[in-house]
Structure 1
Amino acid sequence: MILFGIMTIAGIYFYLKDDLPDVTTLSDVRLQTPMQVFTADGELISQFGEKRRIPLKLEEMPPLLVQAFLAVEDTRFYEHPGIDIIGIFRAVTVVASSGDFSQGASTITQQLARNFFLSREKKIARKVKEIFLAFHIEQLLSKDQILELYLNKIELGQRSFGVGAAAQVYFGKTVHELTVDEIAIIAGLPKAPSALNPVRSASNARARRNVVLGRMLDTGVIDKATYQQAIAAPVTSRLHGAQITASAPYIAEMVRQEMVARFGEETAYSAGLQVFTTIQSKQQAAAKIALQQNLYNYDERHGYRGPVAQLWPAELTEAADAEAVYQETDPLSPADIQAYLDQQSGIEDLHSAVVTAVSAQSADIMLAGGQQVTLEWDGLKWARSFISDERQGVAPKTAYSILAPGMHILVRKSDEKWRLSQVPLPSSAIVAIDPHNGAIRSLIGGYSFSQSQFNRATQAKRQVGSNIKPFIYSAALEHGYTLASIMNDAPIHQWDDNAGIAWRPKNSPAVYDGPIRIREALAKSKNVVSVRLLRGVGVDNTIRHLQKFGFAASDLPRNETLSLGSASLTPLELVTGYATFANGGYLVTPYVIDKILDEDGVELYQHQPAVACRDCLAETETKAETAIDNEALLNDLFNTLETDAAADRNNAIVTESTAAPIAEHVISEQNSFLIADALKSSVWGGGDWQRGTGWNGTAWRVQSLKRRDISAKTGTTNDSKDTWFSGFTPDLAVTVWVGFDDSNRSLGRAQWHANMGQQQSAGAESGARTALPAWLSYMQTALQDVAEQQTPPPVGLASVRIDLKSGLLSRSNDHTSDFEYFKPGTEPTQYAGTDVQQISFDKSRDKKTDEEEIELF
């Protein structure tokens, strides 16, 4: 019988031998792990992949967790040769007596064989293959290697594979933070992960947990006291995502798209790649707060649009100046309110709440989980009614005019106090880049990624308004104008024979100063001066100059409205253009992926950005290809790719370079310096306030940062449909946009609010009123630990004292004069007060306009 049994087993083995997989692949197995995306300082932004897995070494797992699995799955694991004879006889006995194949006898080694090579179907042929594979695995790997593979490979439900992922998915913890009862829940999952996981069924999870705890007690893994404490613990679990420590979902999506394009979906999602971005976590957090708070402020200026829902009728039956009495019809019980709130999903930092009582200056509300809080008057008094984008109701005097019991409202925490709120209607974007190399330091593409995945920072082309003017003035400096040139700030009236109407561009506000220096005109954002400069340079010449900043010709209208900002650009395109003024005239290319590591931490890719190089000669401009850092490793990663994909692969990797490539030098260092310096006047203004000649630029609010190294410009389009603010220091360029996704909708205006006093910002929405506050808030954090630094004037610029009224040379040393920079050969040659007047006139095709200018002078 023994001989017959041996021969039978041998016969079965040789019969199945050719169908058995090669287990030697386990010695170099690659577990499918998700792609992880990190900030530059190592904070996790996101992870992508169908399977959630956090690979761990056996020594990185707590001993109690390992012992729990052994206790319930394979007590004699370290003693048997891959199969458990006692378990097999027990299973055979059950099958012979009842025909039930549900009785398991698989060891951990057999389960490993099944998980890697076989299906879960309950058939004798599969079981026999499993046994033979287990013997092979035991000969190939050590017991610890088998156990480590098993604990990382095993499916544990909710797309979690391995104990590291299960701890995160079910409890939001690392394996070392798990309690004994939580360990038992995870150890009980392999039997039926979809049915026994605590998210799917707490009762099933509890029953299975108690079985595991019993086995742990029987095998001496835990003592009686620990068992009693663990078995009494409630089963509380919910789905947890990856432990995100930096909120940058728009960046994560940008990275995901680029990684899929580079590597393909299978490699990108399952090869365990670690992508390090250029994002700085502290600055990114500041950008999110700045953008969202700015939208909340706009929304509060424009009024309260009412509750989300009214759960039961409540009618005010007594005068509002006393304690009100409400007639409530069928109010919900606290339990019903809590059940309702548990079904509501929040958005960003807004929480659903139900009003339970209202008094004259406050309201009681219930939050999810049954928490009862009070909304004080400071968190309510802003909520005058919304009428339209242009009009708001009267300021409320009591809470009765705002809220009533039964209202489902949204609230948020502000300065540690609860505040009535609502989802903002406008959209916004903020993007910050390093002007030296184009590295994106912060990017927010909208109020909430969960609400809209449309990335307004990179995808929304909107009219830029006066944010275009520095580029128009830059073109003027290339065509003979200087910052001291005098232009006529006077209304323009030009008849259009084709349209049959007159074009009348106006300043905003409609204030005209007459003869004005170009520096002051840019700082004050004079529309008519921008039009006259465009005429002087020519539309075609201006467009050619603007293209140097990376702006596409198709986005630049070939008419005079270009001077007022009718061009449509994305915030990322615009801030890249502004970076050129910050870095000495170099056009950098924005990028977000800095380096890519494989699952073992070996570097596969290091980005080599083209950098702005003030110390390099313009003749040394080069364009360098990204290079391959470790081609052998990447060849392994791409072993499934065909030869004709090699070109695409080369786009994914880089070779070592002895020197960083130099960005294209698109404008002179002198030109970039002059525009940057003129934009500082937009912040600090000029003249002498004590003598009545002082003036402010449109970005004067930036003075609150108390820095002299900031250049900035506001931007507002017709009817306030788009508002912008762009500004930069030598090391950081930042652009903020605010507007509605519906490009035809105006941001409107806010009327005076009696309750808010100086906390409000009344008037028409504009770049200075609507976009600048977010820019300021962001920069307060971004520049917190950055010393002020002044860019020295480049070689070749002359600084001479000029008369502030005429732009000519001045012999005075008082408030009527100041120093101005000039490119060689452009400085004035005459002194103020002489008979010769050096004044730049608009070279208009309309003779009548020229005559009007001369008459005004």
Structure 2
Amino acid sequence: MKYFKPLILLILLGAVLGSATLVGIYFYIKPELPSVTVLKDVRLQTPMRIYTQDGKLISQYGVKRRIPVKLEDVPVELIQAVLATEDSRFYEHNGIDPIGIGRAALSLLVTGEKRQGASTLTMQLARGFFLTREKTYIRKIKEIFIAWHMEQVLTKDEILELYLNKIELGHRSFGFGAAAQVYYGTTLNDLTLAQIATISGLPKAPSVLNPISGPEASVERRKVVLLRMRDEGYITAEQQQQAASAPVTARKHGAEIEVDAPYLADLIYSEMVEIYGKEEAETGGYQVYATATSERQLAAQDAVVRNLHDYDERHGYRGPLGYLWNQPEADEEQTEESAATQQQAQSDDALQRDEADTIPATQDIIDALADVPAYSPLVPVVVTAVAQKQISVLDATGRTRDIPWEGLDWARAYITDNRQGEEPEVASDIVSEGAIVYIREQDGQWRLAQLPQVSGALISLNPQNGAVEAVVGGYSFYESQFNRATQAKRQVGSNIKPFVYSAALENGYTLASIVNDAPINHWDEASGTAWRPQNSPPEYDGPIRMRKALGKSKNVVSVRLLRGVGLEQTVEHIAKFGFNREDIPLDETVSLGSSSHTPLEVVRGFSVIANGGYLVTPHYIDKVLNENNEVLWETEPVWACNPCNDDDESDADADIERLLAEQLDENGSGLPSEPEVKRSAPQVITSQNAFLVAEMMRTAVRANGSWNNKTYWLGTGWRARNLLQRTDIHGKTGTTNDSRDTWFSGFHRDLVTTAWVGFDDMGRQLGRATRNQNLINRNPEKFNWIGNAMIGGEDGAKAAGPAWIRFMQDALDGKPHSPVAVPDDIVRVRIDRTSGKLTRRTDHTTLFEYFLQGTEPTVYVRDDEVVDPASQDDTTTPEPEEIF
């Protein structure tokens, strides 16, 4: 008893001194302690995710990968694993676990080393938000006080939810939702017990215990987690044994991309960075929805890729990337250009072997293919066998495929852009064993392929509000990030003509106006040379109606119209369609498309014609949500309407205020739904002018007249109507000098699209293609009406047109026929086909034509002026007109 009382007093004294010391320390470091109340409204750094309009993930941006999850959505097994391993008494203590602290203190006294931690989940969370990982006593003390504060402010469930979403788990994954995606490519609810135990063991040392960087250490850590779960009674011995012996299935996964549309994603990312700044955009948890749907975006990408391969194949095969064995000797007949092209390809991509006659093992082939770049849809393979009309290939996964003759017979040798070799007769004319080549799948069949050197772009808008429906900036974003749809300023060629014709309509011309389609020879005194613009092909029809001239894309007629209107007035009119005035040259070549514009600018210009004269603003983003799925921002585009409200006399501002007040959401967040009031886009041309230009463009994509009556003629884009089987489309081809740029632009009333094809090297021509008899023999009927058009020089109809057609086929599939509405003040009268005058005849020498009321012809054609094409034997080319 005499020792017991002093002991009690000593303990009490120690407790008082300890408490006083603790209080003193608390008040000493209190000014340094952060306020934990911010955790009530904490905003975790979450990457930006970009979706198509229909909710398919396109891309994710941000260094930290985090997929926030609600506690109620977390599998109970994961919560049990985390608590059993990290803090089994989490729901019993107040943020500080005396038992854990005592155990850590005893270990320190015995070993003299800081081997055991005493951190609870709350303390770990405190360190993650407010402190560092340095092992110092002052940091641990701060951690304890912050944890205690947190327990006063937050509930246990709130703390646990924050922990599950905050903790670092390796490979830039933060939170268990992200870890499930990064390591297993799935969601938390789809994880097995073994996988749950694996990621639950990561908080201790995520960099070395993760199953990718340290699979063996990860397995040992998994066993510890499973043992703790069994000790806590969460799982049975049998479950523990099965999960502990499960194989390691982890591998690194990116974001779960559903639609790979990097050109579109990059545009949206750049816009978000411009609005919010890079750091905020990448960490603010924004969910951005594009204006494009997944269906149309994928259709556009497929159309561009397929079209570039079609062009590339008709110009010949440039040879394998290289050889793993069986390197052939150089062909002495090979031209210098062809040899240089193949040598460059080999030096860039080929994998050469020193022992040319040694066939490597399958695994060596697979390893070698891992170094060959793959750009979807191209698959790198090695040719393992060559039969007479077939080859066998092996890819990087070890899969073997047979490529039939139908996938090889296109591959005649490339010589130059204008020359191709003879058609191959057997497979050995094309490749030999050991060759490294690309293959791709088309229409369910694998075929030999190559990376196209030619480039292309396509962009499509909703002409009513400027929403981008699809955008493709090239063959592959991973091969070139340059977005040709929005960044490449290229000469537009004949794509400019509808805007020149619009200027003519604005200045007294009509669709029936007669213009002389005859050669021009214009002497320029300043340069001492003559300018001789020519039609392409150099054929001339003499006097011709404007409608027909645009449909046949007559160059000299465009020049004459510009002269009739005036150069400066024409240029100012073209600029109304959204083109940068500084990009439009002030000379007569502008009438032939010498100005350079991006496909985005071109498609915006054509949207004015499609929507009745309104200049809409292209935009890519439909709406932006925060991490809680609350709408932060929705686009408010300008619309092709004026007025856009039904009640013309209503006060628009008052209507907007009323609608905003009525449409507040029920929880009072103050976020209104989209108001019904639409803002009007500026009207830059009249609806009548737009309609008449659209009518001429409709003529350009069809066959016109009668073959039997010799009034038959084809618009330059006639294949569009033949393939689309629609009469409510409008289009215009475009080709520049020497076919360096080719275009096809056109629209349906609800969709306007521009396609471009050319080389990034602006000095390189698209060239010519000769007949490939193999393709003719395979399908002579199809070749007669389509394939023949693919022979000869490249132009807008041949090079760019197929991409436009293929996309519009998909985009308009199932849409009912819906022609552009005829606006007020447009009349339709019967005119003479040749003179454009009124006529009383009703035979094939006449046709009905549209006019702005008051501009229709007033003079009737005389009988002696009527020309009956059916009675004409042939036509003669008029002599060149001398203009000085």
Q: When the two structures are superposed, what TM-score results if normalisation uses the length of structure 1?
A: 0.90
Residue type of the alignment partner of 2:483: N
Residue 402 in structure 1 maps to residue 430 in structure 2: yes
Which of 282, 287, 307 is 1:294 aligned to? Answer: 307
119-128 vs 247-256, greater mean Cα deviation: 247-256
Match of 1:245 in 2: 258
* Secondary structure of 1:355 counterpart: strand
For residues 735 and 791 of structure 1, what CA distance do their matches in structure 2 show? 19
SS in 1 for 2:420: coil
Matched, 1:772 2:801: yes
Unaligned runs of 5+ in 2: 1-10, 330-354, 662-670, 777-782, 868-877
- Tell whether the 8 Å contact from 2:644 to 2:678 is kept in structure 1 after alignment: no
SS in 2 for 1:470: helix
Offset, 1:834: 5.8
- Confirm or deny that 1:570 pairs with 2:588: no
Query: Are 1:387 and 2:400 counterparts?
Result: no
- Determine if the alignment matches structure 1 residue 824 to structure 2 residue 853: yes
Does residue 1:587 correspond to 2:615, yes or no? yes
Please state whether the residue corresponding to 1:664 is helix, strand or coil: coil
Is the 1:488–1:853 Cα contact (8 Å) retained in structure 2?
Answer: no
- Separation in 2, partners of 1:200, 1:854: 79
Matched residues in 2 for 1:223 and 1:345: separation? Answer: 48
Instruction: Give the distance between the partners of 1:36 and 1:783, measured in 2 at CA.
Output: 29
Q: Which residue of 1 aligns with 2:813?
A: 784
Cα RMSD (Å): 2.7
**Aligned equivalents of 2:640 and 2:613: distance in 1?**
8
Tell me, yes or no, if the aligned pair for 2:519 and 2:879 is still in contact at 8 Å: no
> 1:380-779 residue pairs with structure 2 within 5 A?
380-613=408-641, 659-703=677-721, 704-757=723-776, 758=783, 760=787, 761-779=790-808
Task: Write the letter of the residue equivalent to 2:747.
Answer: F
User: 2:115 matched to which residue of 1?
Assistant: 102
The structure-2 alpha-carbon separation of the partners of 1:254 and 1:95, relative to structure 1 and needing over 3 Å to count, comes to same
Q: Could you tell me how far 1:697 is from its partner in structure 2?
A: 0.4
Residues 603 and 630 in structure 1, CA contact (< 8 A), matched pair in contact too: no
Matches within 5 A, 1:174-189: 174-189=187-202
- Determine helix, strand or coil for the equivalent of 1:17: helix
Q: CA deviation at 1:852?
A: 6.7
Count residues in correspondence.
Answer: 811
Secondary structure class of the residue paired with 1:588? coil
Cα gap change, 1:616 to 1:206, in 2 (>3 Å): closer
- 1:210-236 Cα distance to aligned partner (Å, 9 max, x none): 322332333333333333332333223
Deviation at 1:90, TM superposition (A): 2.1
Instruction: Please give the alpha-carbon distance, in whole angstroms, between the structure 2 residues aligned to 1:381 and 1:834.
Output: 58
Question: Is 1:207 aligned to residue 220 of structure 2?
Answer: yes
Report the Cα offset of residue 16 of structure 1: 2.3
Q: Could you list the per-position Cα deviations for residues 112-145 of structure 1 after superposition, in whole angstroms to 9, with x for gaps in the alignment?
A: 1110111101112111221222222222222111
CA distance 1:410–1:202, change in 2 (3 Å): farther
Alpha-carbon spacing, 1:851–1:335, altered in 2? closer, same or farther (3 Å): closer
- Compute the displacement of 1:836 (Å): 8.8
8 Å CA contact 2:703–2:714 kept in 1: the answer is yes
Find the aligned partners of 2:86 and 2:444 in 1 and give their Cα distance: 49
Conserved? CA contact 1:606–1:654, under 8 Å: no
Following TM superposition, where does structure 1 have runs of at least 4 consecutive aligned residues deviating by more than 4 angstroms? 614-617, 627-631, 653-658, 834-838, 850-855
| Residue of structure 2 aligned with 1:801, choices 825, 830, 834 | 830
| 3-state SS in 2 of match to 1:505 | coil
Measured after TM superposition, the shift of residue 363 of structure 1 is 1.7
Q: What SS class does the counterpart of residue 448 from structure 2 fall into?
A: strand
Partner amino acid, structure 1, of 2:225: V
* Alpha-carbon distance, 1:362 to partner: 1.6
Aligned residues: percent identity? 53
Per the alignment, residue 105 of structure 2 pairs with 92
Q: Please, which moves more after superposition, 521-530 or 198-207? A: 198-207
The residue aligned with 1:648 is none
Aligned mates of 1:124, 1:544 — CA distance in 2:
75
1:40–1:148 Cα change, 3 Å: same
User: For 1:343-372, what per-residue CA distance to the aligned partner results, in whole angstroms no more than 9, with x for missing partners?
Assistant: 444212212212222222222211112112
Q: Cα deviations across residues 655-684 of structure 1 (Å, max 9, x unaligned)?
A: 986732211111111110001011111112
Residue 654 of structure 1 and its aligned partner are, at CA, apart by: 11
SS of corresponding position for 2:714: coil
**Cα distance in 2 for residues equivalent to 1:748 and 1:791:** 37
Shift of 1:728: 0.5
Partners of 1:68 and 1:385 in 2: how far apart?
A: 63
User: 1:830–1:836: 8 Å Cα contact kept in structure 2?
Assistant: no
Structure-2 change in CA distance of 1:314 and 1:308 (3 Å): closer
Distance 1:132 1:60 in 2: 30
User: Retained in 2: the 8 A contact 1:342–1:369?
Assistant: no
- Aligned partner of 2:34 in structure 1 is 21
More displaced stretch, 387-396 vs 714-723: 387-396
Cα deviation, residue 616, structure 1: 6.2
Aligned letter for 2:702? W
Give the stretch that moved more between structures: 653-662 or 346-355. Answer: 653-662
**CA drift at 1:76:** 1.9
Deviation of 1:731 after TM superposition, in Å, equals: 0.8
Q: Gaps spanning 5+ residues in structure 1: where?
A: 317-326, 632-652, 839-849
Distance 1:218 1:412, change over 3 A: farther
> For the Cα contact (< 8 Å) 1:160–1:169, is it kept in 2?
yes
On the 8 A contact 1:341/1:352 being kept in 2, the answer is yes
TM-score (norm 2): 0.88
Shift of 1:807: 0.8
Alpha-carbon distance in 2 for matches of 1:446, 1:421: 17
How many Å apart are 1:286 and its aligned residue?
0.3
- Between 1:163-172 and 1:245-254, the stretch displaced more is 245-254
Other structure's SS at 2:222 match: helix
User: In the TM superposition, what is the alpha-carbon distance from 1:44 to its structure 2 partner?
Assistant: 1.8
Contact 1:605 1:630 in 2 (8 A): no
Q: 1:140 aligns with which of 153, 159, 162?
A: 153
Kindly indicate whether the alpha-carbon contact (under 8 Å) linking 1:352 and 1:411 is maintained by their aligned counterparts in 2: yes
For 1:639, the equivalent position in structure 2 comes to: none
Is the 2:285–2:626 Cα contact (8 Å) retained in structure 1? yes
Tell me the SS of whatever aligns to 2:835: coil
Q: CA deviation at 1:309?
A: 2.2
Is the contact made by 2:644 and 2:679 (CA closer than 8 Å) also made in structure 1?
no
More moved, 95-104 vs 772-781:
95-104
Q: Distance in 2 between matches of 1:791 and 1:614?
A: 17
Q: Are residues 340 and 271 of structure 1, via their aligned partners in 2, closer, same or farther at CA, if it must alter by over 3 Å?
A: same
Return the letter of the residue paired with 2:679.
P
Residue aligned with 1:473, SS: helix
1:812 equivalent among 829, 836, 841? 841
Distance in 2 separating the partners of 1:385 and 1:233: 53
Instruction: Letter of the 1:819 partner, please give it.
Output: F
Q: Which of the residues 338, 346, 359 maps onto 2:374?
A: 346
SS in 1 for 2:713: coil
Amino acid at match of 1:214: L
Shifted more, 176-185 versus 756-765: the winner is: 756-765
3-state SS of 2:594 partner = coil
2:349 aligned partner: none
Distance 1:125 1:852, change over 3 A: closer
Indicate the SS of the match to 1:554: helix
Correspondence 1:45-444 to 2 at 5 A: 45-314=58-327, 329-444=357-472
